[in-house]
Amino acid sequence: MRHHIVFLDRDSIKAQVRRPDLEHTYEEYDNTAPDQVVPRLRRATVAIVNKVRLNDEILAQLPELKMIAITATGYDGINIAACRDRGIAVANIRNYAIHTVPEHVFALVLALRRNLLAYRQEIEQGAWRKSDQFCLFTHHIAELFGSTMGIVGEGAIGQGTAAIARGFGMRVLFAYHPSPKKKEVVLTPFDEVLAESDVLSLHCPLTPATQGLIGINELRRMKRSALLINTARGGLVNEAALIQALDENLIAGAGLDVLTIEPPENGNPLLDLRRPNFILTPHVAWASDEAMQSLANQLIDNIEAWAAGKPRNLVT
């Protein structure tokens, strides 16, 4: 069969994407607006997407579509049930960011635990030049050794984060949730993880069950000295509650790489939050050069395997 492959948001991947080793025609677009999706996919048998949303209404207008290859692990933008009903295979990317995301987590953690932003600000304001001694002791610095990291999500990235945490001498607690992925991992009740964690790091998918997982009640259960880190999905954290928690010193700080709406075209209160105990990065934890090339290679591997009748990484 000759396939027609259409990549709707090529600019979302900064890597070399090889052409699949199968008979095909190919189109790609830097970006695709919602009203352009159906016209561009009208003849497609394979759609490559990252953040373009494909709901039941759109899928109903694409009778030729046989496969959706997602250039990401998350698939909350795809109506999986509708794909299943229409016989459309959906494959995602797995285990490509097992180093880059955990590294980004600890970049945030270390910056916050050692108050690097606050110290940099003071240096820029001339405080060190005016100091009576060789160093400044103006901000609290805490070690990671002996502290506790709570992790929500025991998949590959959660496991990678745990490995680094243990390397720092931290105790690791994985939070309990229904239908755990890895039976060999010991899970701790969620409330206990909230209460005992010095750092809480989120590594779970965004689903109806995890939407707003961290709200004001959960933030109140955390230690006042604790940090919240989210490099997973913005919707896991109630953003208004987080601002309240920081304003009321319910937690010591937060590091986010994700927002509920991306890009935040109409603004977001977190964009205006100027405080040394809050760091926001623009959804780049996954985006090391090495990880993106691994993703691009796996993307084409998924398409080739499906076309050969040996599908892999299917979302069901």
How many other β-carbons are positioned within 10 Å of the β-carbon of residue 118? Answer: 18
140 labelled catalytic: no
Name the active-site residue from 3, 113, 233, 239.
233
Residue 77 near residue 261, CB atoms below 8 Å? no
**Catalytic residue status for 262:** yes
Catalytic residue chosen out of the listed positions 94, 171, 283, 304: 283
Q: Pick the catalytic residue: 64, 262, 275, 290?
A: 262
- β-partners of residue 67 are 46, 89
Give catalytic residue positions. Answer: 233, 262, 283
